[in-house]
Structure 1
Amino acid sequence: MTIGHVTADGHPQIQIIVEGSDDETHAVEALLDTGFNGGLALPAERIAALGLKRRGQVTAVLASGEERNVPTYRATVQVGGTRHSAVVAEAGEPLVGMALLRGFELRIQCIDGWQVDLEHLS
């Protein structure tokens, strides 16, 4: 199943669906970050717009090596045709991490504009 594409600057981007507190579904374009072992990261403004309730906080280690305490939330997320609960961390941009892709085979065609495919493993 094709769920995204490679951007002009070489980043894989996928679309996921996040359910807000009002049970409405919201499409989110997010970068696929294989170095992020969490589930989903969203900017504070997007979290507020979704009406997600704060659940706690984690210490995140950024790519720069800097450690930062970030608030966490829980949301129902649809990705690759499946729906499940995910931890959402507050971040500067939407990111999908490896925890959200557990149980899938991921294929990225590393050419500008090409496909990002996700297949559920049975």
Structure 2
Amino acid sequence: MTIRHVTASGHVQIQIVVEDSNEGTHDVQALLDTGFNGALALPAQRIAALGLKRRGQVTAVLASGEERNVPTYRATVRVGRTRHSAVVAEAGESLVGMRLLWGFDLGIQCIDGGKVDLDRLS
């Protein structure tokens, strides 16, 4: 199933659905970050708008090597037709990490507007 596209600048955009604290659903556009081994990162404003409950914090190692303590939350997330619970880290932008895509076959057409396909592995 096609879940988004590749941008002209070479970023892979993925569309997911996140449930808020009242079980309402919200489409979220996020960038794929294969260096992020967590599930999902969202900006603080988006987390507040979703009403997610704080879970704790983790020490994140940024691409620069800097370590930073970041708050974490729990949310129900849908990727394609799959729905599951995920840990959400607070970050400056919306990112999908490898943990959220674990158990899927990911195909990316590496051209401007290329398809991003995701299929559940059996």
In the superposition, the TM-score normalised over structure 2's length comes to: 0.99
Tell me which residue corresponds to 1:16.
16
- What residue number does 1:102 align with? 102
Unpaired runs of 5+ residues, structure 1, are none
Note the residue ranges of structure 2 that are not aligned, 5 or more in a row. none
Does residue 41 in structure 1 map to residue 41 in structure 2? yes
For residue 64 of structure 2, what is the aligned residue in structure 1?
A: 64
- Displacement of 1:81: 1.0
- Aligned mates of 1:80, 1:121 — CA distance in 2: 13
Match status 1:88 vs 2:91:
no
Secondary structure in structure 2 of the residue aligned to 1:63: coil
Which amino acid is 1:84 matched to? H
SS in 2 for 1:16: strand
Letter in 2 for 1:72: T
What SS is found at the alignment partner of 1:48? helix
Equivalenced residues, count:
122
Deviation, structure 1 residue 67:
0.3
% identity of equivalent residues:
81
Question: Equivalent residue for 1:30?
Answer: 30
Give the letter aligned to residue 17 of structure 2: I
* One-letter amino acid matched to 1:7: T
Tell me the equivalent position of 2:114: 114
C-alpha RMSD over aligned residues: 0.4
State the match for 1:78 in structure 2.
78
CA offset at residue 36 of structure 1? 0.3
Q: Name the aligned partner's letter for residue 99 of structure 2.
A: A
TM-score (norm 1): 0.99
